[in-house]
Amino acid sequence: MKFERTRKKTTAPNIIPLIDVMFFLLVFFMVFWNISSTPLGMDVELPRAVTGRPQSDGQLEVSVRQDGAFYINGRMVTGPELRAHVQQRLSANPELFVIVKADRRVRYEHVVDALDHIRAVGGHKLGLAVEQSS
């Protein structure tokens, strides 16, 4: 009696799910890399000055972008929100020094607008941020 030998079917591993996962990871890291490499909220190019000095702690930094938008701690705020935030910080520290960090291409009108909002709530210790040139 002759028995027929059964052959095992060799199956190739299905790599399509692996390709899907790898593609998803690639897209995820590309998006995450772009988000983490961009500064949050503001793109400000400061003017240069020889007399600039480093900023110390305990100061409030208000950024003004080229389009006139105000930012505090990387978060966009409106004029009334800027006033409220400065007023809150001034109530905690009446000697608060506010630094206005304006883009070098920003219109003078926008800088004056930021200064007006700060002064309206009692902020009189003001400074302008610059990049120190050599």
* DSSP string for residues in 71-118: EETTEEE-HHHHHHHHHHHHHH-TTPEEEEEE-TTS-HHHHHHHHHHH
Is residue 98, in this structure, part of any structural domain at all? yes
25 occurs within a structural domain? no
- State the pLDDT at residue 29: 86
pLDDT, position 25: 92
pLDDT tens for the chain, residues 1 to 134: 677 777 777 777 788 889 999 999 999 888 877 665 545 555 555 565 565 555 555 688 888 988 888 998 888 999 999 999 999 988 888 888 888 888 778 888 988 899 899 899 988 888 887 776 66
Q: What total number of domains does the chain contain?
A: 1
How far is CA 88 from each of CA 56, 91, 95, 107, rounded to the nearest angstrom?
20, 5, 13, 27
> What is the structure's pLDDT at 24?
92
pTM given for the model: 0.56
SS3 34: helix
Tell me how far apart the alpha carbons of residues 76 and 101 are, in angstroms, rounded to a whole number.
Answer: 14
In a domain, 32, yes or no: no
6 inside domain:
no
- Structural domain containing residue 59: 48-132
- List the CATH number of the domain containing 104: 3.30.420.270
